[in-house]
Amino acid sequence: MDIVSGPLLRLIFMIIDLYIWVVVIGVVLSWLSALNIVNMHNRFVFMVGDFVFRVTEPALRPIRRVLPDMGSFDLSPVALIFLLIFAQDMLSQVIAKFGS
């Protein structure tokens, strides 16, 4: 594999992995705020929640339009994580096919 594309593909793989963790943090934070375990009026909690919302919402919004409404359950993070894992699997196949 090319000297640039191998590390670049691995970097993309790690960015996808990091984004999956941001989605998981967003889900956990939404549960904790819904159950009044964390106070969203706390400045640090608000900043983390706002960052996670701004980073994940552009990817979650189109999925929410496609998925049916399940009441209080939001399955769009699960669908996004499945799509990201699928993208990682395809990327790992590309890395394995071309060697690294």
Task: Note the Cα 10 to chain centre separation in Å.
Answer: 17
Q: What is the pLDDT of residue 2?
A: 67
* pLDDT tens readout for residues 52-63: 999 999 999 999
How far apart CA 78 and CA 20 sit, in angstroms, is 10
Residue spans per domain, the chain: 5-98
How far apart CA 77 and CA 38 sit, in angstroms, is 20
Q: Give the residue from 52, 45, 57 showing the smallest Cα distance to 24.
A: 52
Q: What is the pLDDT of residue 50?
A: 96
pLDDT tier for residue 70 given thresholds of 50, 70 and 90: confident
pLDDT tier for residue 95 given thresholds of 50, 70 and 90: confident
Mean pLDDT of 36-65: 95
Mean pLDDT of 55-81: 92
* Full-model pTM: 0.86
Residue spans of beta strands (DSSP E) within 37-77: none
How far apart CA 77 and CA 82 sit, in angstroms, is 9
